[in-house]
Amino acid sequence: MYVVLNVVVEQRYYITSLSKQYNEALSTTLSQTLMVNPFEQECYEYFVLRTKYDVRFFVYGYTGQADIYVAARNEPEGPKSNRVHLRAAFGSSTSVAFSPADRKDLVGYSTGTYWVCIFAYSPFSGLLVTQEADLTGRYDLQDSVILTKWVKQSEYFYSRYRNSAFASRGVLHINLEVAQSLGEDDEVPFIQWIVCKSPIWSECELTSA
Amino acid sequence: MKGPGMLKNQYTRHLEIEHDPSACPSKDDPSQCYYLLAFYNKNSTKIMTTSVRVHFQSYDPGDIDLTKEYQNVVEYGAFFNYEINPAVNADIQPFIKSLKVKLTTF
């Protein structure tokens, strides 16, 4: 790129430039390397194809701190934009999940364009992984990777966890946090658990214990 | 079915589960042991944006071979346990006069 300046009046001029890379659309088969400058937003587009599949975006942070949030249809202007539908909890590695019902009832449509955005507070690098699969609203948890999701009123959501160090004894720490302020009659969702009798998802039910 | 966890504050609930490998269905391979976790929003009017984080803290610390360097990633608020034991360092440990641990972050 060349910048040609035809100076008519002799003065002191300054040329500044600002470049922004064009981010390619996300794919479930390729992970996306992230490099985000402080106080800038980088957004990636993903087209949800299947009405009955769950969608999950993972951000594994290597360095720096950033907000991760998802908007539907239109790219948000920043982390505080009212286009943002779901914001991941703050943490170095995090994920956000949308079930088909979440997308239909709370976003308004189950297929179409979603934007995953990263707003960095310090030089941020990481990896963005996209998953679209028939998870039937059940999500595998990875150690120390936060999962953020809506839970509708009087409803459950289910997760499953295992660890390669389970051959030894230890303690499983489970933290659940809600993002909004609660009224007097509201309660933080309950946590219930069992040890699965089988490693097959469909054979592990709360009632089977 | 067990739960429901302790309220830490207005926004957070915490649950600790003592993991015992003998409770796993596959005694030969406890690493294939799964926990099913269910999160129930008992409020009848409010949709909740919930975030869940699970971390396993093993009682069995990793063995340290005193001739090697180790790299690991420690999350905010978390920690790792390591153990220097004579089984791994049989040739060195009986003769140690002083021990210096050097920690580098990058």
Query: Cα separations (Å) of A173 from A143, B39, B64?
Result: 10, 15, 25
* Per-residue pLDDT reduced to its tens digit, B55-77: 998 888 788 999 999 887 776 66
From A184's Cα to the closest Cα of chain B, the distance in A is 10
How many residues in total does chain B contain? 106
pLDDT tens over chain A, length 209 residues: 788 888 888 888 888 776 666 777 888 888 999 999 999 999 999 999 999 999 999 999 988 989 999 999 889 999 999 999 999 998 889 999 999 998 988 788 889 999 999 999 999 999 999 999 998 888 999 998 999 999 998 888 899 999 988 888 999 999 999 987 777 778 889 999 999 888 888 888 877 44
Write down the pLDDT at residue A1. Answer: 78
Look at B59 and A168 and tell me if their CB atoms are within 8 Å: yes
From chain A, pick out residues whose CB is under 8 angstroms from the CB of B17: 171-172, 174, 193
Query: pTM, whole model, 2 decimals?
Result: 0.81
> Are B25 and A163 in contact (CB < 8 Å)?
no
Q: Which of A170, A179, A192 sits opposite B1 (nearest CB)?
A: A192
User: What are chain A's domains?
Assistant: 32-150 (2.60.120.680)
Cα A149 to the center of its chain, rounded Å: 9
> In which band, very low, low, confident or very high, does the pLDDT at B32 lie, cut at 50, 70 and 90?
confident
Inter-chain CB proximity A168 and B50 less than 8 Å: no
- Closest B-chain CA to A189: B41
CB spacing of A144 vs B20 below 8 angstroms: no
Give the model's pLDDT for residue A126: 93
Of B72, B105, B67, whose CA–CA distance to B84 is shortest?
A: B67
For residues A204 and B12, is the Cβ–Cβ distance under 8 A? Answer: no
pLDDT value for B77: 66
Beta-carbon separation of B50 and A177 below 8 A:
yes
Q: How far is B95 from chain A (nearest CA, A)?
A: 30
Paired strand residues for B86: none
